[in-house]
Amino acid sequence: MLRAWLHSRFPAGVEIDDVVQEAFLRVIRAHERGQLDSPKAFLFATARNLALDRIRHGQVARTTPLVENEGWDVLYDADDVTETVARNQELELLTEAIQSLPDRCRQVFTLRKVYGMSQADIAAKLGISEHTVSAQLTIGVQKCTQFMAKYRREGSGA
């Protein structure tokens, strides 16, 4: 199911099997740490982000100069590693924020933000009103924002 979903959303240049394997590995690691309440949502979000990273990396690789200048390769690698680490930390933090949401709120938030379902489709799937979906999305965004802001304040020593 994941492989088919990725094929439907990403160009042929993305190595889908590699993305699937890496996504499953990350889900297993998160499960071992006990940080996984919605493994399917985490799997799909992780796979999507990995595929997007591969696309971005391919675009960045095409813009690098053909002529090597001494020392540039070290700078490019350092920038890429720093950016990748920062992006992965942000993703982990967002995943924690989503996992901390109440059950119904997390379901609605995941269906909308991860799977891209419309509010009407979510309401029909969960048997709730569109107003409830909208309210739960608002709560989810606010709580995730607060979670991340709190983490940043604590992380910066403030």
* Domain match, 54 and 92 both: yes
pTM for the structure as a whole: 0.47
Buried b (16+ CB within 10 A) or exposed e, 16-50: beebbebbeebbeebeeeeebebeebbbbbbbbbb
pLDDT grade, residue 85 (50/70/90)?
confident
> Does 75 have pLDDT greater than 50?
no
- Residue 70 belongs to a domain: no
Q: What is the pLDDT of residue 79?
A: 52
- Residue 109 belongs to a domain: yes
* Domain match, 130 and 148 both: yes
> Does 73 have pLDDT greater than 80?
no
* Domain match, 80 and 27 both: yes
pLDDT, mean of residues 61-86: 54
> How many structural domains compose the chain?
2
* Domain match, 47 and 10 both: yes
8 Å CB contact between 53 and 26: no
**Residue 153, Cα to own-chain centre: how many angstroms?**
22
8 Å CB contact between 44 and 117: no
**Which structural domain range is residue 151 located in?**
102-158
* Domain match, 86 and 11 both: yes
Q: What is the pLDDT of residue 92?
A: 83
* Domain match, 87 and 133 both: no
Alpha carbons within 13 A on the beta-carbon side of 72: 7
- Residue 69 belongs to a domain: no
- Residue 26 belongs to a domain: yes
8 Å CB contact between 35 and 96: yes
- Helix residue ranges, H only, 14-71: 16-32, 39-63
Closest by alpha carbon to 6, among 49, 60, 57, 68? 49
* Domain match, 57 and 89 both: yes
* Domain match, 2 and 13 both: yes
Could you tell me the CATH number of the domain that includes residue 142? 1.10.10
8 Å CB contact between 19 and 6: yes
pLDDT grade, residue 131 (50/70/90)?
very high
* Domain match, 149 and 133 both: yes
Radius of gyration from C-alpha coordinates of the chain: 18
